[in-house]
Chains A and B, each alone.
Chain A
Amino acid sequence: MVFALSLLSLVDCGSAMAQSNYFDTPTKTELSLDDEGFIRRWTVLEPISKPNHTNTVFVDSYLNEVFAKEYFKGQMTCLPKDGDKVTAIAEHVEMPKDFRRFDQNAEIKRTFSKEKLTWHKLDSKTYNLKLMRFGEYQTKRLYGVIYWVVTVINCEKDMENVRLSVGSNSASKWWVNGAETLILSGDRRMVADDCMSERINLKKGENIIRGAIINGPGMSDFCVRFADENGKAITSGITIK
């Protein structure tokens, strides 16, 4: 059971594990898919503050509204390099003193600020990219956040009728070559092959995958791979720039 009553503040984890336990610094050589087809190389923006006291608010309409909002310039088009910085709109909340979780009628005071956030290129040491550990290491911000991630894959040839397969904690939305491809709504655990897109085509050469993951309290991570139209993981023919 996830039971957290004070999840909205920045958490100073003095015992934070070193980032190197979870991530490698990418080299300049293209990375292959792992043996199970997972894409392990991503460029990840430091988490944008977006407090939520529960993940149950992540219904479809909420996600569509939240992910349609522009938090930083170039949000849907940029191909950031490691170290690039953006100015993002961060949200902060002040809860009433008698606030109880799930109280949807509570008068929550919301304020906004601008924050400088940095893109980081990462190779995940595991099939899934542990966003919470990344956020913890970079900003000590664990909960109530939105992560933006992007990667560029290189296909050896045109690939027709493939499916983007995603598991995420918590909800997320994904775009392939600029087209909205998949949404994972609800209070989700990360499960490999939790959701797959309709059949899509990847073109020979570069294809851009972009995702946004939102999380209230609890762990946050995601895993992504492609599958054929029958759901079988694709493990070759794709490299990551």
Chain B
Amino acid sequence: MNVALVASAMLAANNANAQVGEPFIHDPATLMECDGVWYTYGTGENGIMSEDGGYTWHSGAIRPNRGAAPDCIKIGDRYLFAWSATGGGLGGTHSGDVLTMWNKTLDPKSPDFKFTEKVVVASSVDGEDCDAIDAGLLLDPTTGRLWCSYGTYFGNIRIVELDPETGKRVEGNEAVDVAIDCEATDLIYKDGWYYLLGTHGTCCDGVNSTYNIVCGRSRNVTGPYVDNLGRPMLQGGGKMVIAAHDKVVGPGHFGRTVVAEGVEKMSCHFEADFDMGGYSVLGIRPLLWKNGWPVAGEKFREGTYEVESERHGYALELAVDFKRIDGGRMRWFNPNEKREINPIPMQTLEQVQDEWPADEIGVRNGDFMVRPHQKWTITAVEGVGGFLGQPYYKITIAGTERTLTATKEGNVTTTAKFEKTDEQLWQIDQMTDGTYRIMPKSEAKGAKRCLVSIADSTPTLAEFDFNNDNCKWNLKELR
């Protein structure tokens, strides 16, 4: 990496909405976790890794054999890699091979870090309407069968079955055409549906790349896959999952990571990140599910929010006296009153703050009234690690340093100062239904207790359960 690139990366590291570290990669494999470290691999040799929970990425992941667009899946206690040896893509020949190999670990420093011999599981030859490139792997959770999709713009996307014990092609298996003119396909399964993710648009053109990720779905792994209009992917169909946004363009090479039930992430590359000199970088976004279709959520944005409990709709607030605003009352009561419309100023922090206790103040949930004790500023904290794609955040009462803090006893309170303790750093995951899971760093490697409305008016830390609205929060930006 040259000096200018390092400078660019460091600049971006100070902006929580940009990619951070050295996340440079193209055609990334699905994110893999091994012994607390996250890895992904791209076209060419090797890949990148993250030792801080998936927030900051740098080189160091090792994958030999070069080739294109790998995917990776953990089966039992082993990692299976699939990648392609290609004839050159769009402008070259279209003879290629999809290959697989295993490793017991992804840690290059481990004595167990040894790749098995590569084996060819699918091929294409010139003159065929297929290019054997861009493998995607799915271990079917309903059957235990292992499937591999591959192909590119040159003809058909195909699915073959592999042996989950050996990683070899199942003997006698015939490839099935499931789509046309995609790149970077991947297969996932959810709630009785198989989803075929693919990438449309122009690859490899920097900030002008129109790459975008689409999907279709089917009740059978071998198709037919159709989009939300019922249009077959064999006729070019596909519903958008993620396109260019903010200062990144050209998302491609989908990968799905299920963190917990209801907490899912999608990985991809962006062909170009404007803040990173237009280089291709790893992208990680929340994966949401809307009416049975996957869609990328947004990277969380710093700002000032109402923190609303999904349980009843009450808002997280300081447990302080409610201060009335002198704004008249029952003004509808006298129909003969001559109306004078004068705006009523909102209550300000300065009007109430002096009456708050100086030290610890508890929290509760209450009717949201747009008052200072209910406005929370959420700010990224750099240098303390993070989680997949995002930093940890501090949550403070707007205009103050009063900080939402977990206690060792499993409660939540506020402390007067932010001191960068693990109890004051919060992991904020947008969940598959668009609500948020909020968990202190102090729980991330332990009991994983989250901010939970144990009662309508009572927040606490408790076990996370995606199927319980107590565990869900809406973050409504205040403008």
Question: Do A and B form a real pair?
Answer: yes
CA of A229 to CA of B409 in the docked complex: distance in angstroms? 11
A230 within 8 A of B: yes
How many of B's residues come within 8 Å of A, CB to CB? 22
Q: Known contacts being A104-B324, A230-B462, is A198 close to B411, with CB within 8 Å? A: yes
- Name A176-231 residues within 8 Å CB distance of B: 184-186, 191, 193-199, 227, 229-231
B339 within 8 A of A: no
Interface of chain B: mostly helix, strand, loop or mixed: loop
CA of A104 to CA of B470 in the docked complex: distance in angstroms? 37
A56 within 8 A of B: yes
CA of A195 to CA of B452 in the docked complex: distance in angstroms? 13
- Name B398-422 residues within 8 Å CB distance of A: 409-411
B420-452 toward A: CB 8 Å interface, digit per residue (1/0)? 000000000000000000000000000000001
- Please tell me if the beta carbons of A102 and B410 are within 8 angstroms of each other in the complex: no
B458 within 8 A of A: yes
B95 within 8 A of A: no
- Please tell me if the beta carbons of A198 and B455 are within 8 angstroms of each other in the complex: no
B457 within 8 A of A: yes
Q: Known contacts being A60-B319, A193-B455, is A102 close to B366, with CB within 8 Å? A: no
B275 within 8 A of A: no
Q: In which size bucket is the chain A interface? A: 20 to 34
- Please tell me if the beta carbons of A195 and B456 are within 8 angstroms of each other in the complex: yes
- Please tell me if the beta carbons of B457 and A60 are within 8 angstroms of each other in the complex: no
A114-145 toward B: CB 8 Å interface, digit per residue (1/0)? 00000000000000000000000000000000
CA of A86 to CA of B49 in the docked complex: distance in angstroms? 73
Residue of B nearest to A183 (CB): B319
- Please tell me if the beta carbons of A193 and B321 are within 8 angstroms of each other in the complex: no
Residue of B nearest to A165 (CB): B455
- Please tell me if the beta carbons of A186 and B366 are within 8 angstroms of each other in the complex: yes
Residues from chain A with a CB closer than 8 A to the CB of B329 are 101-102
B353-370 toward A: CB 8 Å interface, digit per residue (1/0)? 000000000001011000
- Please tell me if the beta carbons of A195 and B457 are within 8 angstroms of each other in the complex: yes
- Please tell me if the beta carbons of A230 and B320 are within 8 angstroms of each other in the complex: no
A59 within 8 A of B: yes
- Name B304-322 residues within 8 Å CB distance of A: 319-322
A27 within 8 A of B: no
- Please tell me if the beta carbons of A230 and B456 are within 8 angstroms of each other in the complex: no
A173 within 8 A of B: no
Q: Which of B322, B324, B366, B454 touches A196 (beta carbons < 8 Å)? A: B454
CA of A56 to CA of B322 in the docked complex: distance in angstroms? 9
Q: Known contacts being A59-B321, A60-B320, A199-B409, is A191 close to B456, with CB within 8 Å? A: yes
Residues from chain A with a CB closer than 8 A to the CB of B320 are 60
Q: Known contacts being A186-B366, A191-B456, is A198 close to B409, with CB within 8 Å? A: yes
Residues from chain A with a CB closer than 8 A to the CB of B457 are 184, 194-195
Residue of B nearest to A229 (CB): B462
A61 within 8 A of B: yes
- Please tell me if the beta carbons of B454 and A231 are within 8 angstroms of each other in the complex: yes
- Please tell me if the beta carbons of B319 and A196 are within 8 angstroms of each other in the complex: no
CA of A142 to CA of B460 in the docked complex: distance in angstroms? 35
Residues from chain A with a CB closer than 8 A to the CB of B452 are 231
Query: Could you tell me the distance in whole angstroms from the C-beta of A174 to the nearest C-beta in chain B?
Result: 13
The 5 closest A-B pairs by CB, nearest first: A59-B321, A196-B455, A231-B454, A196-B458, A195-B457
